[in-house]
Structures are given as C-alpha cells and as structure tokens.
Amino acid sequence: MTAATNFTNDLLSRRSFLRVSATAAGGLIVSLYLDLPLAAQEGGQAKPKAYPPDAFVHIKPDGKIVIQVNRLEFGQGVHTSLPMILADEMDADWAQVLAELAPAADVYKDPVFGIQMVGGSGSIAHSFQQYRELGAKTRAMLVAAAAEQWKVTTNQCRTEASVVHGPGGRSAKYADLADEAAHMPVPETVPLKNAADFRLVGKKIRRLDSRPKCNGSLKFGLDLDLPGMKVVLVAHPPTFGASPRSVDDKAARSIPGVADIFEIPTVSKGTAVAVVADKFWTAKQARDRLRIDWDLSRVERADNSQLREKYKELAGTPGNVAVARGDEKALAGIAASNRIVAEYEFPYLAHSPMEPLNTTVRYDGDRAEVWAGSQFQTVDQMAIAEILGLKPDQITFHTEMAGGGFGRRATPDSHVQREAAAIAKRFTGTPVKLVWTREDDVQGGYYRPMHVHRVEIGMGADGMPSAWRHVIVGQSIVAGTPFASFIIKNGVDATAVEGTADTHYDIPNFHVSAHHPTVNVPVLWWRSVGHTHNAFVMETLIDELATRAKMDPIAYRRKLLKPDAKKLHGTLDLMEEQSAAWRTKLPAGHAVGFSCHESFGTGVACAVDVSIENKRPKIHRVTVAVALGLAVNPLTIESQFQAGVAFGVSQLMAKGAITLKDGYVEQSNFDAYTPPYIIDAPAAVDVHIVPSTEKPSGCGEPPVPVISPAVVNALSRLTGKRYRTLPLVTV
C-alpha cells in the first residue's frame, strides 16, 4: 500500500516524497523520499526511487514505535533528540519509542549537505523541520483513520501518548489504527505545533541509549562478531605513502590462526601489509613479527621543525585573500607603540576516539554487506562499491554505534573502508573485520592540521583595534576532495579561516589571508575544525587588547562586537550574570578568564576559574552561556557543553601534540599523545541557555573553541605571560 505526496521543507525547497505502507506483519511504516539535486539527477525527471528499507517510523502492533535516525550516533545525542522531535509532533508515547540508526540510503541523506553524514553540527539544525513534518503527517493519518472509524471529523479528535481521543470518550491506540492509517492519503501540508504545545521538545529528556551503554550490552562496531569472521590488522607505512622494499612474513605466518598476509594499496598511494587472522590477538602477534624493510626514498618526510620554519616564513607574506575590508595601509599609519605583532603556533592533533577505527565487510560476489560506525555512510558506501566493482545499491551498509569520532569517521577518501573492502574482496563470503589499533590511529594521519598565524594589530586612541592584518598558514583540509569545489574560494579553504574571517568583531580595516602548503601528512576536520585555532587566536588577542586598554574584558568584547551579533551579545550578558557570584570572590591564586565565540550558528560565552597546580592549569569551574535558537533537548545541550569544554582542553595538554620527525610520527599511544583525564578537565561546568524559539542550531562543536582561550586568558592574568604556542608545555 503506497501513497505519495510531496512537501516543501523550508530548509530544502527540494522535492520530497512521503510513502506510507502497511507492513506484512502489521503496523505502519512511514518513509520519506528526498530527491536531491545531485549531479546524477540533474536534468533528469525527479522521480522517487525505490527504497525498500527506508522507513522513518514504524508503529508496531505491540505499540512500540521505532524511529529511524538518519545519522550516526557517536555521543552527540541524535539517537534521542531526533526521535524526540518526531515523537513530539506525532504525540507518540515516549516510553514506547525506540530509536534505530538507519543504514546508508539516499533517503537518509542530510537535507542540506546532500550526503548521509554527521558534521558541521548540523544534525538538529538540518533535520529539525524534516522530523517534525514526518511526525505531524504520521499523526494526521492516524487521526484520519480514527475519524473515519468513528464517523467524526478530524477536528473532533485529539492525540496524546499514542492514543487518539474522539468525542464521547472514544479512544484508539495508534497501534490499533496503524493498518487503517496506512490506507489514508498522505496530507499535503500539516500544521506543526506551536512551541508552547511541545511535550518533549524543550524538555530535559534522558538518552535512550544509556542503559545498554552502562551494562555492556550495547554493541559497537568493534564488538561485531559474525560466524566465520576474520580479524585484520594492517601494517601501514611509517611515513605516509611509502611502500615496502621487502616483507619477511615467515615468523608471522608461523603463528597458528594466521590466514593470510598480503600487500594492499593505501589511499596515500603507498602499500601496506594486511595480516588476516582468526582473532585480534593473533593478528596483533603476527603483525608484530613482520619484518618489513620500508622504502622511504620516494616520499616526502615531513618534519615538524622544518614545517615550522617554512610556515613562519610564509606567515610573513600575504596569502590568498579571505577578507579585505577597509584600508590595507591603515596599519602603517599607526605608531609602533600602539601595535601588536603576534605569532601563534598550533600542532597537528589526532582525534583519537575511544573506539578504535574499524569496519567489517563481507563480499558476496554480486553484493556486499558492511558494518561501520561512519559519519559519512553514503560516501563510504560509494567508495566500497568502487573497490568491489559494485554499485552503491549493491552494498548494504549498516550504521554501527560508534565510540566517539569528532570528525575522524568522516573521511572524504574513505580510507579505512577502502582498505577493508580491498581485503574482503579476497575472502568472498567471509566477513572481514578491519581494526586499526590505537597505535595505528595515533600514527595514521588525518590530523587537525598544524597552523601558524601571524597577526598585526593597530589600536586606535580608544583602545579598540582599528587595523588588523592576519595571515593563516596551514594545510587545506578539503583540497583534493570532492568538497574542494564549494569550500575553497579564491584559493582559501574556508575551514582554515572560519572564526577569523567571519568574526563578529567590528574591525574597520580587516585583512585576512591564507597559505595552504602541501605537506605529506593527511589532514582532517577535528571537532569544530578551523575554530579550534581561530577562536584561540582571536579570543586571546581580544583579551590582550582589553588588558592594554585597561578595560573590563567583557565590556571590551561587548563594545567591539557588531550590534547585530545577537547570539554573542546574549551569551555575554547571560554569562556575565551567571558567573558574577563566583567571579567576584575568587580565592587567592585563582583568576578568571573569558572568551566568546560563534561557530556553526551557535553563540557561546564562557568564564573560567583557573589556578596553577603542579605547574598545570587547574580548571575549577566553567560557566557557559549558549545561544542556539530553540533548545530541543536542554539535557543534551548541557551534556554536550559540559563534556565539549573538556574535549577542548585537549589543545592545552602538555602531551597534546602530534609531531613528526624525519617522516615518522613521534607519538603512538595515549602515553605520549594524552587526551584530558578527569584531573585535567574542568571540575564543574554550569551551562545556561539563552531562551529562544528560533530555528535550532547545533551544539556538538561549539563548546570546543571557547575553552582553551578562556583558560589561557586566566593564566595570563596569573603569570603576566602570553601563551601563543600550543600545546601548553609549560605554564
């Protein structure tokens, strides 16, 4: 039974189709088709394709309502908040709602980005309207079914907790109406709730995935166990793109359980050695016993000290223009005593999600099945198809729950999946689980790029910056990827300058340019991407300027911010108010630091209470104010900010850098590349949301940029020093 309609999403203005069907086993399935204007479809007729498994809502006969989540869940909470949005409009009984991670399919693509993905803090921002409409239409059909049964008008019915109530005390459960509802026409348009009528949205709702994550029953991708499965570890070249001159695998092959050892190509045009075994520990033992003579003669051997020199030199010259506002010569007219020249250095950073990277592939000749915790399902699906010589729709791609990601599972080149597919292709019919060990991950590239910033600022008589020249040097993340065409403009990778080029500070003569050197180190977006370094530079410099101007740092920011930067003004006010009580009575040896930054459409301001203990910053308390439109799940937002600022402390860790020497990555595990432990993280974080009913923006990345500049600004108050080089090796 299928009925179709189309509706216009205010975000999309693309043709969308809703299909409703009764299932063989009973119940109602609601599916949404989006026909996205992708290159493949342009010019063609926009017809709905056949998507069998693409239900968004499934009302089961037992009353359970299964809602598909069109994105990876890896901590950010969409597995709870997207179903909340749909269930709210549907008036579903929340206690009966289950969430499932949707497999790869066109229908689950991000309505704005056009690929199935998590990134850009866009899950709620992009799917809020989509999930509301799905919920509202499903509800409308259930109501229509009840109204028909009772011979009443739909206006006489109301819904609550998966029940339609009609006149005369009649009521019917959604589950009992599901079959009938499937025969109802899909409404063209449906009214959506007023914010005041939300039952779930705006409430603090606990996660749906907590219990199984607390009792060990939840299966992550790495936990997958299939009959006959092999486990594969790969010996990657120690320098990106290198290949072995010779491989002695005798000792490795002698280990019982080793199935095969062979060379595979790497995405970086080198060659790696795959070890296929019955189990992880077997594969590990065997890989440790490989004797590989790597030929590094044909690859660039990146080296931090050389890169640093080169970057610093580049930073002294203008790059490709990102922003040119006002008079470029204004700076020259300002006396040296009123100028600041600041040079900043940022290292490569590894994401190191707790669950090591992995992908399982079973190749069956004419089709394949894949299990992966992927932020880029459809991208990875296409890559695997390419390696296996199949079409994407011949690949069943299961989205597995992932143990963190922070961007690391969103690789435009799908390098892990390509590796897994290449190996699986040799084992037709056998599931092959590729695991990257922690060492593989730390040494395996795809880092937040290393950067140097050089900033020259001239101050006016009022102490405010009147001229600002800013050069940013760092590899482009998207160069050479399909994203390049719409992210690189005028030779500037927007992800490298975000947070500076689009600053909300009103600086009359403002010039930002960028150099993107090519380096043999794969780079990638790292939670909050360019904001990681740009916010640090901007917010430490603004603080320095405020100090020089002898102005209150909050007042200074407020004065410098454009009046229309409403979110930032709102957060500054709220942060100032909420932190006043503790800020005004700090113990001796403590100092407060501030920062504010807008990223991904979300404004954030924070105040931190910092002292120095054991020669390290001790972060006693953080007060965060956030403006992100309508707060869909304030509990998720609170959690994301509490934890996200701790993630942001990664940048300050003494061992918080990936460094290369002569082509080799010098760190290999958490002993040398150390994420924050509990003692490094803020001891308390209070989060305050600026009330709003405007369109929601994201909360996954915006917590990250603000914390490190705020902490360093506090340190500067304590020590009188300026901190322009990360990580923070000494205080």
Q: Could you say which of 46, 226, 643, 718 contacts another protein (CB under 8 A)? A: 643
Residue 728 in contact with another protein, rule: CB under 8 A = no
Tokens of 523: 């780079």
How far apart are alpha carbons 154 and 156 in whole angstroms?
A: 5
How far apart are alpha carbons 142 and 159 in whole angstroms?
A: 9
Residue 484 in contact with another protein, rule: CB under 8 A = no
Residue 684 in contact with another protein, rule: CB under 8 A = yes
Output 521 or 649, the one with its CB closest to another protein. Answer: 649
DSSP summary character for residue 103: -
Residue 380 in contact with another protein, rule: CB under 8 A = no
How far apart are alpha carbons 73 and 354 in whole angstroms?
A: 14
**Which are the contacts of 62, defined by CB distance < 8 A and separation ≥ 6?**
175
- How many residues bind another protein (CB under 8 A)? The answer is 64
Q: Give the footprint of another protein on residues 272-291 (CB under 8 A).
A: 279-281, 285, 288
For the stretch 123-135, what's the b/e string if a residue is b when 16 or more beta carbons lie within 10 angstroms of its beta carbon?
bbbbbbbbbbbbb
Residue 639 in contact with another protein, rule: CB under 8 A = yes
How far apart are alpha carbons 673 and 686 in whole angstroms?
A: 28
Residue 371 in contact with another protein, rule: CB under 8 A = no
Residue 649 in contact with another protein, rule: CB under 8 A = yes
How far apart are alpha carbons 594 and 399 in whole angstroms?
A: 39
Output 264 or 649, the one with its CB closest to another protein. Answer: 649
How far apart are alpha carbons 596 and 610 in whole angstroms?
A: 17
Residue 354 in contact with another protein, rule: CB under 8 A = yes
Q: Could you say which of 336, 461, 588, 678 contacts another protein (CB under 8 A)? A: 678
Q: Would you tell me the crossing angle of helices 531-548 and 703-719 to the nearest 10 degrees?
A: 40
Cβ(478)–Cβ(299) below 8 Å: no
Q: What is the smallest separation between the CB atom of 303 and another protein, expressed in angstroms?
A: 22
Q: What is the smallest separation between the CB atom of 313 and another protein, expressed in angstroms?
A: 34
Q: Could you say which of 28, 186, 222, 538 contacts another protein (CB under 8 A)? A: 222
Segment lying near another protein (by CB under 8 A), choices 99-107, 396-404, 468-476, 710-718: 396-404
Q: Could you say which of 100, 148, 179, 209 contacts another protein (CB under 8 A)? A: 209
Residue 220 in contact with another protein, rule: CB under 8 A = yes
Q: What is the smallest separation between the CB atom of 411 and another protein, expressed in angstroms?
A: 18
Q: What is the smallest separation between the CB atom of 517 and another protein, expressed in angstroms?
A: 29
Cis link prior to 727 (omega < 30° from 0)? Answer: yes
Output 42 or 671, the one with its CB closest to another protein. Answer: 671
Q: Phi, psi at residue 436, to the nearest 5°? A: -95, 125
Q: Could you say which of 547, 669, 692, 725 contacts another protein (CB under 8 A)? A: 669
Output 674 or 708, the one with its CB closest to another protein. Answer: 674
How far apart are alpha carbons 38 and 382 in whole angstroms?
A: 14
Q: Would you tell me the crossing angle of helices 566-583 and 553-560 to the nearest 10 degrees?
A: 170
Per-residue contact flags (x/-) with another protein for residues 64 to 103, judged by CB under 8 A: ----------xxxx--------------------------
Q: Which residue has the tokens 């990146």?
A: 302
Do the bridges between strand 465-474 and strand 451-459 make them parallel or antiparallel, or are there none, so unpaired?
antiparallel
Q: What is the smallest separation between the CB atom of 253 and another protein, expressed in angstroms?
A: 16
Residue 645 in contact with another protein, rule: CB under 8 A = yes
Output 78 or 115, the one with its CB closest to another protein. Answer: 78
Tokens of 107: 């229908």
Q: Could you say which of 219, 269, 291, 661 contacts another protein (CB under 8 A)? A: 219
Q: Could you say which of 22, 218, 479, 484 contacts another protein (CB under 8 A)? A: 218
Q: What is the smallest separation between the CB atom of 213 and another protein, expressed in angstroms?
A: 3
Tokens of 143: 């109501």
SS3 718: helix
Residue 664 in contact with another protein, rule: CB under 8 A = no
Cα four-point dihedral sign 39, 42, 43, 47: positive
Residue 213 in contact with another protein, rule: CB under 8 A = yes
**Which are the contacts of 64, defined by CB distance < 8 A and separation ≥ 6?**
96, 97, 98
Q: Could you say which of 635, 666, 695, 725 contacts another protein (CB under 8 A)? A: 635
Residue 227 in contact with another protein, rule: CB under 8 A = no
Residue 254 in contact with another protein, rule: CB under 8 A = no
Burial class (CB in 10 A: 0-12, 13-18, 19+), 194: exposed
Per-residue contact flags (x/-) with another protein for residues 167 to 206, judged by CB under 8 A: ---------------------------------------x
**Which are the contacts of 45, defined by CB distance < 8 A and separation ≥ 6?**
none
SS (H, E, C) 554-574: HHHHHHHECCCCHHHHHHHHH
**Which are the contacts of 448, defined by CB distance < 8 A and separation ≥ 6?**
346, 348, 349, 350, 351, 523, 524, 525, 526, 529, 532
Residue 617 in contact with another protein, rule: CB under 8 A = no
Output 1 or 670, the one with its CB closest to another protein. Answer: 670
Segment lying near another protein (by CB under 8 A), choices 40-48, 218-226, 361-369, 418-426: 218-226
Question: What's the half-sphere exposure (Cβ side, CA atoms, 13 Å) at 725?
Answer: 7
Applying CB under 8 A, which residues contact another protein? 74-77, 206-207, 209-211, 213-220, 222-223, 225, 256, 279-281, 285, 288, 352-356, 401-406, 437-439, 635, 639-640, 642-647, 649, 669-671, 674-679, 681-685
